[in-house]
Amino acid sequence: GNSVTQMEGPVTLSEEAFLTINCTYTATGYPSLFWYVQYPGEGLQLLLKATKADDKGSNKGFEATYRKETTSFHLEKGSVQVSDSAVYFCALRGTNTGNQFYFGTGTSLTVIP
């Protein structure tokens, strides 16, 4: 079946530090992969996506590359800001499972000045 395993948090970084949040997945076929972010008091927002192997999704300085050989979609940012403090969710949409998304457990990130 489909599942997502995400790096456990919480993660605390100093401003301008490098961020990596690991995400690996299990799926049949060729899923689409996503990172969602939830800022305090808000809903989940799509941060970036990749729909096929070797695609790189990017947005707001964040990047993630769809690696089929390692079944991974790690989120990275070169220099985090205080405003990046949020909960980050890795998710996949399977090829034969309708439109439902499969999410990881979420990783809470706190960036301190």
Partner 1 sequence: EAGVTQFPSHSVIEKGQTVTLRCDPISGHDNLYWYRRVMGKEIKFLLHFVKESKQDESGMPNNRFLAERTGGTYSTLKVQPAELEDSGVYFCASSPGTARAYEQYFGPGTRLTVT
Say how far apart CA 85 and CA 15 lie, in whole Å: 10
Q: Which residue has the tokens 């939830």?
A: 38
Residue 12 sits in the site that holds partner 1 (CB under 8 A):
no
Instruction: Identify the CA nearest to 4 among candidates 25, 22, 20.
Output: 25
Q: Does 43 bind partner 1 (CB under 8 A)?
A: yes
Handedness of CA 91, 96, 97, 100 (dihedral sign): positive
Binding mask 52-91 for partner 1 (x = CB under 8 A): -------------------------------------x-x
Provide the binding-site residues for partner 1, judged by CB under 8 A.
4, 32, 34, 36, 41-46, 49, 51, 89, 91, 93, 98-106
